[in-house]
Structure 1
Amino acid sequence: MPPKKIDIVDGRTALAAVRAADASGEKPQRTDLATAVRYLLQLLDEKAPGNSVEVRVPPFGAVQVIQGPRHTRGTPPNVVEMDATTWIAVATGTEEWADAAASGRVHASGTRADLTGVLPLRP
């Protein structure tokens, strides 16, 4: 069963709540963080559909994106993983992909695991 689609208003509201919490130095509510992460993963899936790269943001979600060889079993050959805060920053363009990757906050493996060409998203 595919994951529940996040409504655009709910996604933008959650993203705004996460940004407001960050700006005030507070920890965002877990439900807002989860919704924002899933919403941005959904936007990535819509922008770059495919099955060659798995983007993981534990514990909130994962999506397979980008055209290329289809992956069906086991660990995919192209994996990108990061925490929720990093994902929101690179997905919205408040941080460059290269900077997050260079700092070690993005774990990427495989020849297609560079998301520079599809980020940032426009939420």
Structure 2
Amino acid sequence: MTARLRTAPAAEVADALARVRAGRGERADLRLLTKHYLALLEQRAPGRSVEVRVPPYAAVQCIEGVRHTRGTPPAVVETDATTWIAVATGELAWAEAVAQGRVSASGERTDLTPYLPLLRPPDGAGR
């Protein structure tokens, strides 16, 4: 079983996101933001049926369904860090990222639209 990723402190995330948005982001900022937003996805969509990969920084399994245990997962999402940060923060719509070829998504349950952007409360929260 892989270890769960942890979210980063809000101040660190805000600082790193500001640098990335200003075009001054460094590799460490991309790593921090990628892992932070993947950890939020794990929390928002618990499960192990879809593997979301953002090389070289991290990968997580999420979304309820058939559990994947070894070999190539039946459902895989892969993208680069810049695209992941953009869809996670709502700067880029999931469907647009897929249509532009910035995201590779194959298999069932790989449409992450219901979970994004990650900066808003999950559906039904606060009701």
Settle same-fold status: TM greater than 0.5: yes
TM-score (norm 2): 0.85
Distance in 2 of aligned mates of 1:77 and 1:32: 31
Task: State the SS of the aligned residue for 2:47.
Answer: strand
* Conservation of the 8 A alpha-carbon contact between 1:18 and 1:36: no
CA-atom RMSD in angstroms:
1.6
**Counterpart check, 1:5 vs 2:6:** yes
Task: State the SS of the aligned residue for 2:20.
Answer: helix
* Gap runs ≥5 in structure 2: 121-127
* Gap runs ≥5 in structure 1: none
Task: State the SS of the aligned residue for 2:34.
Answer: helix
TM-score (norm 1): 0.88
List per-residue Cα deviations over 1:75-99 (Å, max 9, x = no partner): 1000000011110111111111011
Shift of 1:4: 5.5
- 1:1-123 equivalent positions in 2, closer than 5 A: 2=3, 5-9=6-10, 10-21=12-23, 26=24, 28-122=25-119
Q: Which moved more, 1:99-108 or 1:10-19?
A: 10-19
Amino acid paired to 2:78: E
Distance in 1 of aligned mates of 2:34 and 2:14: 11
Number of residue-to-residue matches in the alignment: 118
* Large movers: runs of 4+ above 3 Å: none
